[in-house]
Amino acid sequence: MIWAVTEFKSMNLGDPRRKQRAIHLIESLSAKPTASIPQACGDWADTIGAYRFFGNEAVQWEAILAPHIENSVARMAAHEHVLCIQDTTELNFNGQEAKGLGPLSYEAQRGMYLHPTYAISTSREPLGVLDAWMWARQPLQSDGSRPGVSESLRWIEGYERLAEMAPQLPNTRLVYVADREADIMALMVRARDLGEPVDWLLRSKHNRVLGEDDKMWSRVTAGESQGEIRFTLASRQGSRPREVVQQVWAQALKLPDGHGGFVQATCIVAREEALANGEKPIEWRLLTNLPVETLEQAARMIDWYRARWEIEMFFHVLKNGCRIEALQLGSVSKIERAVVLYMVVAWRIARLMRLGRSCPHLDAQLMFEPDEWKAAYILNKQELPKEPPTLNEVVRLIARLGGFLARKRDGEPGVKTIWLGMQRILDFAAGIRFCRELQVQGACV
């Protein structure tokens, strides 16, 4: 897998052998993301090497992720705007005896939390993982309080890391995107005090008081709307795709910062009228530092917020495709090293899906080795093309091996069929290479 060597080329773990092990691991985990570590490694020696790597206290997970971040920044430089999405997900290891685990949403559950920053282009192309918070909660004390650092700091520190990264990208504007949990005045104040080197777009959780009998959401929607927007809401579990029509309001406001000052922000409200079929209408209330003076600008902010769904897809691949909650590694520090590698695997699977949709005519050899794309044709019992195929052609063939039917009404394949198909492709490609080596040695096949 040339991509793994390229992605981790600049890795420095203090010993070349550790780097070699990390790259070998990422190749094994990419080839079989749904498999256990022993199944992915294939033999006893590699399995022991993997467990030793994850248990090596001299290896910091930040150092493992560093070369991927470096390459992510290089990919980001090709775009005018990059959406940097932050969110938190629970990793449930209930029933395991790993050291350092803590309670989750329910105090009796055991696990840890993952809070990455996931960069995508405005056309939804996954560009990489830029940062991560990983932690386990302390148990509640008898008075109901929880010891440790306030978890809300992860949102503020996430912004600060992006602010540190911004000077590396003078021609790219970063946009911090987050859901309601990030609607924290301290975050907006920190962005203001730093001079807002990174723009921000948050879903509003708090209907802030602006004056006596004057609240934010009602003030914004008091007048005529700027107009309406239309988009297709993608299918979700239990619901089909449908067209959404929303009325849009936007207004610049001065939000009190609680210390006698204010934060300049724009509040956007996008509201769907009541639906005849009884479905719950969609209403979004957003806050941003960016000016929104026209319907076109408001629609852009709403489209950028809708892109937040990409991190949910990333979590889906990570937890259901890579099955990281099935890891049995004995301690939180070992789990962290494994999660970092799996995050890069999940990013690549999501990237293949998106590029196959948004850039269908790309040369497949930009993402696949010749043995890999040829395997997609052979396993589908199709004749090899005389010229290298397009990325979309190969991705669809791979997805068919994972259960995608490829009928006209089926649209483009999703991540699940791609990750299942990739396992068959990579196994077959490995077999092709092994046969080639045997032929060179003069052995019979």
Per residue in 21-57, pLDDT tens?
Answer: 999 988 888 877 777 888 888 888 888 998 999 999 9
Task: Report the pLDDT value the prediction gives residue 95, as an integer from 0 to 100.
Answer: 81
Instruction: State how far the Cα of 109 lies from the Cα of 114, in Å rounded to an integer.
Output: 16
Task: Report the pLDDT value the prediction gives residue 415, as an integer from 0 to 100.
Answer: 73
**Is it the case that residue 276 has pLDDT exceeding 70?**
no
**Is it the case that residue 146 has pLDDT exceeding 70?**
yes
Task: Report the pLDDT value the prediction gives residue 435, as an integer from 0 to 100.
Answer: 80
**Is it the case that residue 445 has pLDDT exceeding 60?**
no
Of the pLDDT bands very low, low, confident and very high (cuts 50, 70, 90), residue 169 is: very high
Task: Report the pLDDT value the prediction gives residue 443, as an integer from 0 to 100.
Answer: 59
Give tens-digit pLDDT for 92-125: 998 888 899 999 988 888 999 999 999 999 999 9
Mean pLDDT of the chain: 88
Task: Report the pLDDT value the prediction gives residue 402, as an integer from 0 to 100.
Answer: 83
Task: Report the pLDDT value the prediction gives residue 52, as an integer from 0 to 100.
Answer: 92
Instruction: State how far the Cα of 72 lies from the Cα of 223, in Å rounded to an integer.
Output: 43
334 half-sphere exposure, CB direction, 13 A CA radius: 18
**Is it the case that residue 444 has pLDDT exceeding 60?**
no
- Please report the sign of the dihedral spanned by the C-alpha atoms of residue 376, residue 380, residue 383, residue 389: negative
What is the rounded average pLDDT of the residues 342-366? 81
Of the pLDDT bands very low, low, confident and very high (cuts 50, 70, 90), residue 180 is: very high
What is the rounded average pLDDT of the residues 187-194? 96
Max Cα-Cα span within the chain: 88
Give percent of the chain above pLDDT 70: 96
Helix (H) or strand (E) holding 395: helix 391-401
Task: Report the pLDDT value the prediction gives residue 72, as an integer from 0 to 100.
Answer: 97
Residues 6+ apart with CB under 8 A from 3: 348, 367
Alpha helix ranges (H) inside 280-331: 295-306, 309-316
**Is it the case that residue 238 has pLDDT exceeding 60?**
no
Instruction: State how far the Cα of 417 lies from the Cα of 400, in Å rounded to an integer.
Output: 7
Return the top range by mean pLDDT from 79-88, 220-229, 306-315, 341-350: 79-88
**Is it the case that residue 343 has pLDDT exceeding 60?**
yes
3-state secondary structure of 106: coil
Task: Report the pLDDT value the prediction gives residue 74, as an integer from 0 to 100.
Answer: 96
Task: Report the pLDDT value the prediction gives residue 270, as an integer from 0 to 100.
Answer: 94
Task: Report the pLDDT value the prediction gives residue 414, as an integer from 0 to 100.
Answer: 77
Give tens-digit pLDDT for 64-83: 999 999 999 999 999 999 99
Task: Report the pLDDT value the prediction gives residue 424, as an integer from 0 to 100.
Answer: 81
**Is it the case that residue 320 has pLDDT exceeding 90?**
no
**Is it the case that residue 365 has pLDDT exceeding 80?**
no
DSSP 8-state class, residue 413:
-
**Is it the case that residue 188 has pLDDT exceeding 90?**
yes
What is the rounded average pLDDT of the residues 266-290? 88
Residue closest to 131 by CA, chosen among 100, 181, 88: 88
DSSP 8-state class, residue 409:
G
Task: Report the pLDDT value the prediction gives residue 214, as an integer from 0 to 100.
Answer: 86
3-state secondary structure of 262: strand
Task: Report the pLDDT value the prediction gives residue 310, as an integer from 0 to 100.
Answer: 92
Residues 6+ apart with CB under 8 A from 275: 281
Task: Report the pLDDT value the prediction gives residue 307, as an integer from 0 to 100.
Answer: 94
What is the rounded average pLDDT of the residues 307-327? 90
Give percent of the chain above pLDDT 90: 51
Task: Report the pLDDT value the prediction gives residue 277, as an integer from 0 to 100.
Answer: 73
Task: Report the pLDDT value the prediction gives residue 235, as an integer from 0 to 100.
Answer: 65
Residue closest to 18 by CA, chosen among 55, 72, 73, 69: 55
**Is it the case that residue 332 has pLDDT exceeding 70?**
yes
Task: Report the pLDDT value the prediction gives residue 133, as an integer from 0 to 100.
Answer: 93
DSSP 8-state class, residue 320:
I
Q: At what angle do helices 185-193 and 153-165 cross, to 10 degrees?
A: 20
Task: Report the pLDDT value the prediction gives residue 239, as an integer from 0 to 100.
Answer: 63
What is the rounded average pLDDT of the residues 391-414? 80
Contact 301, 175 (CB under 8 A): no
Instruction: State how far the Cα of 391 lies from the Cα of 362, in Å rounded to an integer.
Output: 5
Pairing mode, strands 283-288 and 173-178: unpaired
The better pLDDT of the pair 426, 260 is held by: 260
229 half-sphere exposure, CB direction, 13 A CA radius: 23
